[in-house]
Amino acid sequence: MAEQSFPSMHATTIVTIRKGDKVVIAGDGQVSLGQTIIKGNARKVRPLGKGNVISGFAGATADAFTLFERLEAKLDQYPDQLMRACVELAKDWRTDRYLRKLEAMMLVADKTTTLCLTGNGDVLEPENGIMAIGSGGNFALAAALALADSDMNAEEMAKQSMQIASSICVYTNDHFVLEQLDAE
């Protein structure tokens, strides 16, 4: 008997921008299953730890919540060391049998560091303070890069980039959640 196939869960759009004295992570609220929108106001961007780290995820929701919990535990273990906490999480993600099957990506930032974490064990830092993930990530990234030299602040750039991505990507809506921190 052939294995039953279910519609795949499509990602989202998450963008992070570090500019001036702010770092912002913004994400849309759409959750899709195949060609159906399941929910339009999901919260995929949130503060972590004691509120000194912000994060956003793209991918399977349950997997992302598992990663949020694991990252918060690492942040408790390595306070004020976002890079170390993320590297330790990435190691676990690569080597732990259960975690290896998780299908999600995360953007995280604190006042000095912005990172992208993947299930391949990657802990990536942007060259220019701008990164994006998810099905509309490349659209948001291109928009943010085009706006980088503008007079817009980080929040305005994030909103405009998300608006552009939502007008192109069918798996991204215009219900945005945005979290920001003061940067050093």
- Per the annotation, the verdict on 12 as an active-site residue is yes
Question: What is the rounded distance in angstroms from the CA atom of residue 164 to the CA atom of residue 86?
Answer: 30
User: How many Å apart are CA 135 and CA 19, to the nearest integer?
Assistant: 24
DSSP string across 130-148? EEEEETTHHHHHHHHHHHT
- Give the contacts of 143 (CB within 8 A, at least 6 positions apart): 160, 161, 164, 165
Residue 170 DSSP one-character state: T
Q: Which of 12, 13, 16, 114 is catalytic?
A: 12
Residues in Cβ contact with 97 at an 8 Å cutoff, skipping those fewer than 6 apart: none
Tokens 């999901």 belong to 42
Known catalytic residues are 12
